Amino acid sequence: MSDIGAPGRWQALSLICAGVVCAMTSWFSATAILPDLVRDWDLGPAAQAWLTNAVQLGFVVGAVAASFVNLPDIVALPRLMMVSAMVAALANAVLLFEPGAGIAIAARALTGAALAGVYPPAIKLMATWFTRGRGLALGFLIGALTLGSSMPHLLRALTEGLDWRAVVLGTTLATGLAAAIFGLGLAEGPHGFGRATFDPRQSLAVLRERGVMLANLGYFGHMWELYAMWAWFLAFATAAEAEIIPFPMGSASMLTFFVVASGALGCVLAGTLSDRIGRCATTAWMMGLSGASALAIGFAFDGPGWFLALVALVWGITVVADSAQFSAAVTELAKPHLVGTSVTLQLGIGFALTVLAIQIMPWVAEAMGGWRWAFLVLVPGPVLGTGAMLVLRRLPEAAQLAGGRR
């Protein structure tokens, strides 16, 4: 069925994207103020890593639990997203009360678990409004996720010299606004996937489908690189700031904002390309470019400033550009009544890999004597992902992707 006759689909997509931007501001709210928390809370290296990683781990637990009970295929999506955003806002607000490292880490884990009820269901909700053009629509959606993830860094750069609570308050209010958008402004579209019933075996069945599994392998390689780069680029930029005068964009926080936010452009670009030249070809190209950038960024560490900015922005654009297309591929390859479960399980396993990648990065930096070459450990991810998508491109299942565009 064509989506041409689905009135209101672009308005629905705009509201979904607006809600996702607002909700995802809570993801890196602690990461953006980590230097302040280290100073005020006297945090050690382990606590610093876990303030970022707890969100990832919470998301994994939330996503896998949701897929285990088929939650995104049972509960009405706008209601699930509204409640989840409300919980994320409340958990994010815990930081305002300076609860100490232990409670703060637990609150960050709850934030991640709640966001597992926003992001994966948003993908399925978008797909109920779009059949044709799904790659572009999902590109806008992941672009919204990217922009939201970058916003705490912008808030920190704009409030430099002010209390760090301004960032937490701003991201909490934004996440609360997301709950209102999801609850009051959204409904499922006309291209629904049907409802599933509770059956834990279904979440395992999706892993046995060859096309879905190859798309997942591509996604897993992509995720090994993505969140570790997002989480630690501020540390890399802060270290490089001591070597380069003038520093591009004025400060490490502002450069980090532009690098992460630039991924929104990449998501839309990849969405357009994916619907024209194919999902597999687009993801392979983007992972090739992002892997090359991970190799090159160390050479730009000590400048000149324009070279660092160029490599960093190319990496920022390409590192997340293909993310939407892996999820779009699963919505096209999975059995229709298990689309929500399949996407949520894909995201849960992918984010589990990010926990490991984020955790090892400081150890790698220490072993290498600094951040300059630390990102080399991320390069195997896009190499593996590129190989998986090129294999999928040669299989008959690839004909189901993007209207036959491989």
- Asked if residue 195 is part of any domain, the answer here is no
- Asked if residue 154 is part of any domain, the answer here is yes
pLDDT digits (tens, 9 = 90+) for 288-311: 999 999 999 999 998 798 999 999
Q: Cα–Cα distance between 82 and 79 in angstroms, integer?
A: 5
pLDDT at 5: 45
| Angle made by CA atoms 203, 54, 68, in degrees to the nearest 5 | 10
- Asked if residue 91 is part of any domain, the answer here is yes
| Angle made by CA atoms 253, 254, 257, in degrees to the nearest 5 | 90
Question: Is residue 346 within 8 Å of residue 217, measured between CB atoms?
Answer: no
Give the tokens for residue 109: 């884990």
pLDDT at 6: 65
Give the tokens for residue 85: 């955003």
For residue 265, give its domain range.
Answer: 9-188+203-404
**DSSP assignment, residue 21?**
H
- Asked if residue 352 is part of any domain, the answer here is yes
At 326, which CATH number? 1.20.1250.20
- High-pLDDT (> 90) share of the chain, %: 41
- Asked if residue 66 is part of any domain, the answer here is yes
pTM over 0.85: no
If one counts the domains in the chain, the total is 1
Question: Is residue 295 within 8 Å of residue 345, measured between CB atoms?
Answer: no
pLDDT digits (tens, 9 = 90+) for 60-101: 888 778 767 777 677 788 899 999 999 999 999 999 998 888
- Asked if residue 193 is part of any domain, the answer here is no
- Asked if residue 394 is part of any domain, the answer here is yes
Radius of gyration of the chain from Cα atoms?
Answer: 20
- Asked if residue 107 is part of any domain, the answer here is yes
pLDDT at 298: 94
pLDDT at 204: 62
Q: Cα–Cα distance between 19 and 181 in angstroms, integer?
A: 6
Q: Cα–Cα distance between 347 and 323 in angstroms, integer?
A: 10
